[in-house]
Each structure stands twice: as C-alpha cells, then as structure tokens.
Amino acid sequence: MIDYGNMMHDAMRGLIKRLLQDIASAGKLPGDHHFFITFDTMHPEVEIADWLSDRYPDEMTIVVQHWFDNLEVTDDGFSITLNFGDNPEPLYIPFMALRTFVDPSVEFGLRFEQPEEETNDANDTALSVAEAPMHENAEPSDKPKTDGQVVSLDSFRK
C-alpha cells in the first residue's frame, strides 16, 4: 500500500520548512502575511520555557507577525524568539510537533490530524483554511472572518 497520509504530512512540513527558510533569509514577513502556528507542547523535542509549558500543557499557538528574532530553520524544526508580555522567549519547535499552520492574510491553512490510539487512521491528513486560536499577545486581524472548508483525504479513499 502507498502511504499517502505520511507522504502528504511530509510534503506539508516541507512547505512550512521552505517558507520559514525564506522568511529567515529575508528577516521579515512580506506584506500583510502573518502566521498562527499551533504545536504540541508535550512533544519530547519541543523546547519552551517552563512557565509556558505550565500555562499551555497540551498545545500552544504562537503568532509570527510584527516582531520576532533569531529565526533559524533546520531539517527537523525551527527556533524563534518571540515576545510574551515584553519578555523575549526562545522557542524550538520540531516540525513533527506541528498541529496547524495558518496565514489568515491569504486564507491559507494546514492542519495535521492527530493520530487516534488503536485506529488505522493514524495517517489521516486534512488541508484546511481555518483561524487558529491566538495567545494573549496576538493582534486580531482587521479582515472579516470567513468560514473555511476542510477537505479530508478520507473522502477520496475507498
């Protein structure tokens, strides 16, 4: 059997990796682009301050928009420094910990389905246009919200 689910996940992570590499090279985001990135804070390779993991014990959404520093991208993940209440905090997020990636300025989003225990759906992947929840320092977009459409690969499977 061809493992389309894992292949799609790898392609989506590759897209995010390339995008972040371009942003790191430029040192800033172009135009009105900004990202909501949700990740699993319990992933063993995630590196965040203890107070952040205490506050967000399951998942956390970061916003990459006006100010960020030290964006470095590797094959396995990215590190970035963000401001939390005027306190710069370094983060390391492996690509395998990603749950959603959204750029609401162009209504683009990716969602990585989480595997359910003891099912055969561990490789399910969905592409979505969605608005991710923001952390307390995020600035809401002035653009009107639109309902996104989620396309599940299950609908194409026999």
Q: Distance between alpha carbon 38 and the CA centroid of its chain, in Å?
A: 4
Number of other CB atoms surrounding residue 51 within 10 Å? 11
Specify the higher pLDDT residue, 86 or 37: 37
pLDDT in tens, 72-109: 999 999 999 999 888 899 999 999 999 999 999 999 99
pLDDT tens track for 45-65: 999 999 999 999 999 999 999
Domains of the chain in start order, with CATH, are 4-156 (2.30.30.220)
C-alpha 155 chain-centroid distance: 24
Q: What span, in angstroms and rounded, lies between the C-alpha atoms of 105 and 98?
A: 20
Going by C-beta distance under 8 Å and a sequence separation of 6 or more, which residues neighbour residue 70? 79, 80, 81, 90
More confident residue, 5 or 72: 72
Average pLDDT, the chain: 79
